[in-house]
Chain A
Amino acid sequence: MLRVTGLCAGYASVPVLAGVDIDVRPGTAMAVLGANGMGKTTLMRAMMGFLTVTAGQVMLDGRDLTAEPPQERARAGLGYVPQGRGIFLRMTVRDQLRYAMIAKGRPAGNLSDVLDRFPVLMPLLDRTGDALSGGERQLVALACCLSTRPGTLLLDEPTEGLQPSFVDQILELLIKLKQQDSVTILLAEQNLEFAAALCDQVSIMRKGSIAATAPVAAIREASTDVDLLLAGEL
Chain B
Amino acid sequence: MDHALVVGLHLLHAMASLALISVGLAVIFGMLRVINFAHGEFLMVGGYAFVLSAGAGLNLWIAMLVVAPAAVGALGFLVERFVIRHLHGDIIATILATWGLSLFLIGLAATVLGYHQQGVAPPFGTVQFSSYSIGIYTFFVILVAIVTVVSLFVWLRWSRSGLLARGAMQNPGLAATLGADTKRLRTAMFVLGSALSGLAGAVLAPLAGVLPEIGATYVVKAFITVISGGATALTGTTLAAALFGFTSQAAAFLSRPVVGEVALLVVAIVLLRLLPTGITGRYFRKAL
* A positions within 8 Å CB-CB of B: 48-50, 69-71, 74-75, 79-80, 82, 86-92, 95, 98-100, 102-105, 108, 128, 130, 144-145, 148
Contacts and interface: CB of A to CB of B under 8 A. Distances in A.
Interface stretch (B99-107, B112-120, B128-136, B167-175): B167-175
A103 B178 contact: yes
A82 B177 contact: yes
A145 to B, nearest CB: 7
A50 B175 CA distance: 12
Contacts of B179: 71, 74-75, 103-105, 148
Contacts, number: 77
Contacts of A105: 179
Given A91-B170, A92-B286, A74 B177 contact: yes
Contacts of B180: 71, 99, 103-104
30 contacts: A69-B176, A69-B183, A70-B173, A71-B179, A74-B176, A74-B178, A75-B179, A79-B177, A80-B177, A82-B177, A87-B171, A87-B174, A88-B171, A89-B170, A90-B232, A90-B285, A91-B170, A92-B286, A95-B163, A95-B166, A98-B163, A99-B163, A99-B180, A100-B178, A102-B164, A103-B164, A104-B178, A108-B160, A128-B285, A144-B178
Interface residues of B, number: 22
Contact of B170 (A88, A103, A148): A88
Of A49, A88, A89, chain B has the most CB atoms within 10 Å of the CB of A88
Contacts of B166: 88, 91, 95
B195 interface: no
B178 A99 contact: yes
B194 interface: no
Contacts of A103: 164, 167, 175, 178-180
A88 B174 contact: yes
Interface SS, B side? helix
B178 A145 contact: yes
Top 3 nearest A-B pairs by Cβ distance? A104-B179, A70-B176, A74-B179
A148 B178 contact: yes
A224 B252 CA distance: 77
A100 B177 CA distance: 9
A90 B156 CA distance: 13
B285 A99 contact: no
A104 B231 CA distance: 27
Contacts of A130: 285
A217 B178 CA distance: 34
Contacts of A128: 285-286
Contacts of A91: 166-167, 170
A148 B177 CA distance: 10
A75 to B, nearest CB: 5
A41 B173 CA distance: 15
A80 B178 CA distance: 8
B174 A86 contact: yes
A95 B182 CA distance: 17
Contacts of A80: 177
B181 interface: yes
A102 B160 CA distance: 8
Nearest to A141: B174
Of B164, B176, B181, chain A has the most CB atoms within 10 Å of the CB of B176
Contacts of B167: 88, 91, 99, 103
Nearest to A80: B177
Nearest to B181: A71
B163 A90 contact: no
A145 B163 CA distance: 17
A49 B160 CA distance: 26
Contacts of A71: 176-177, 179-182
A79 B176 CA distance: 11
Nearest to B285: A128
Given A88-B167, A92-B286, A50 B178 contact: no
A173 to B, nearest CB: 18
B184 to A, nearest CB: 9
Of B167, B175, B177, B180, chain A has the most CB atoms within 10 Å of the CB of B177
Contacts of B163: 95, 98-99, 102
Of B163, B164, B182, B285, chain A has the most CB atoms within 10 Å of the CB of B163
Contacts of A99: 163-164, 167, 175, 178, 180
Nearest to B182: A71
Interface string B135-174: 0000000000000000000000000100110110011011
